């Protein structure tokens, strides 16, 4: 990865191109992200930059994190989210710098990482799109799982069997989204298409790794 920032999903809208084509876009509040710490090949064995996003009350932050934030002058206004972004080469930033939405430009491609909406406990029909059983002739298992294993051999249920359970709330990456507009004055990034997560969810925006 060459660059990456933290942001917040604001929702979807649409824009019109000069030719009159309507483009559905997702608005992302991207940054500003203060640089908290740096990782270099010589000192740490890998290249990365540690950045923050948002804000929270000082009383809700541990002393260990506050000590780390003090080096960047953020102990009085600690960020709500702290992430470390792996880079291909040593970062050129300095501790205390602020990275904004202008890191990205229009017409380039990005990957967006977020957590999908949590759906709670769900059955196999909703969670895995099972067909279920018949509704006639005394079926009695319309939305049930059905057989999950065999009798004597192997005499168990294999791990990974699709079963009812917690649905959603998993990390997902949407690749190769086109950046339609960048509005640095409002810390806004408009990307074509949808991204994972609810409105207000924290996302990671990075340069497209695969095209």
Position 210 pLDDT exceeds 80: no
Mean pLDDT calculated for residue range 63-78: 89
Judge contact between 1 and 209, C-beta under 8 A: yes
pLDDT at 198: 95
Judge contact between 91 and 64, C-beta under 8 A: no
The CA distances from residue 61 to 47, 56, 68, 106, 177, in Å, are 26, 8, 11, 36, 35
Cα–Cα distance for residue pair 141/134, rounded to 1 Å: 7
Position 183 pLDDT exceeds 90: yes
Using pLDDT thresholds of 50, 70 and 90, give the confidence band for residue 78: very high
The CATH code that applies to domain 4-119+172-207 is 2.40.30.10
The domain ranges of the chain are 4-119+172-207, 121-168
Cα–Cα distance for residue pair 169/164, rounded to 1 Å: 15
pLDDT at 185: 93
**pTM, 2 dp:** 0.85
Looking at per-residue pLDDT, the higher value among 184 and 149 belongs to 184
pLDDT at 26: 96
Cα–Cα distance for residue pair 150/157, rounded to 1 Å: 8
Using pLDDT thresholds of 50, 70 and 90, give the confidence band for residue 211: low
pLDDT at 129: 95
pLDDT tens, 103-156?
999 999 999 999 999 999 999 999 999 998 888 888 788 999 888 888 888 889
pLDDT at 136: 87
Q: List the beta bridge partners of residue 82.
A: 52
Mean pLDDT calculated for residue range 5-22: 93
Residues of the chain with pLDDT > 70: what percent? 99
Cα–Cα distance for residue pair 177/174, rounded to 1 Å: 7
pLDDT at 179: 95
**HSE on the CB side for 200, CA within 13 Å?**
1
């Amino acid at each position: 990865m060459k660059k990456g920032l933290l942001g917040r999903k604001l929702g979807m809208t649409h824009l019109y191109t000069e030719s009159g084509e309507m483009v559905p876009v997702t608005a992302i509040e991207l940054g500003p992200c203060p640089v908290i710490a740096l990782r270099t090949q010589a000192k740490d064995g890998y290249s990365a930059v540690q950045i923050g996003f948002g804000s929270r009350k000082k009383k809700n932050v541990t002393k260990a994190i506050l000590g780390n934030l003090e080096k960047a002058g953020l102990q009085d206004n600690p960020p709500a989210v702290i992430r470390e972004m792996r880079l291909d080469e040593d970062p050129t930033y300095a501790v205390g710098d602020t990275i904004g939405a202008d890191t990205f430009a229009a017409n380039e491609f990005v990957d967006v990482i977020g957590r999908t909406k949590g759906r709670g406990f769900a059955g196999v029909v909703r969670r895995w799109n099972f067909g279920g059983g018949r509704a006639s002739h005394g079926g009695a298992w319309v939305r049930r799982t059905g057989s999950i294993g065999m009798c004597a051999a192997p005499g168990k249920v294999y791990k990974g069997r699709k079963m009812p359970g917690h649905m959603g709330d998993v990390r997902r990456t949407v690749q190769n989204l086109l950046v339609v507009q960048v509005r640095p004055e409002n810390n806004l990034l408009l990307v074509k298409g949808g991204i994972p997560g609810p409105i207000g969810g924290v996302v990671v925006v990075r340069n497209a790794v695969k095209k």
